[in-house]
Amino acid sequence: MRKSFTKITSGLAVAAALVSMTALAEEEGVMNGDPANGKKIFTEGKGAAPACMTCHGATGWGMEAMGAPRLNNLGFPYIVKQLTDLAEGRRTPSGAGAVMPLFAQQLTPQDRRDVSAYVNSLPLDPKDLSDMQAIKDGGQPIGTRYKGEILVKFGVSGKVSACMSCHGYNGRGAAPVFPVIGEQKYTYLVNQLHNWRDESRTNDPYGMMRAIAKKLSDEDILDAATYLATAPRTTEGNTRVPNTTR
Known binding residues for heme c are 52, 55-56, 100, 163, 166-167, 209
DSSP state of 241: P
Residue 2 CB coordination number (10 Å): 6
Give the separation between CA 46 and CA 102, rounded to whole angstroms. 12
CA distances from 35 to 24, 134, 195 (A): 22, 34, 31
**C-beta separation of 153 from 162 below 8 A:** yes
Ordered alpha helix ranges (H), 29-162: 35-44, 53-56, 76-87, 100-105, 109-119, 132-137, 145-154
- Determine whether 24 is exposed, middle or buried from the number of CB atoms within 10 Å of its CB (0-12, 13-18, 19+): middle
The 3-state DSSP class for residue 178 equals: strand
* Alpha carbon distance 58, 231 (integer Å): 22
Query: Residue positions in the annotated binding site?
Result: 52, 55-56, 100, 163, 166-167, 209
- Our CA angle for 16, 21, 22, nearest 5°, is 100
Question: Is residue 7 left, alpha or beta, with left meaning phi > 0 and alpha meaning psi from -120 to 50?
Answer: alpha
Give the amino acid at 237. Answer: G
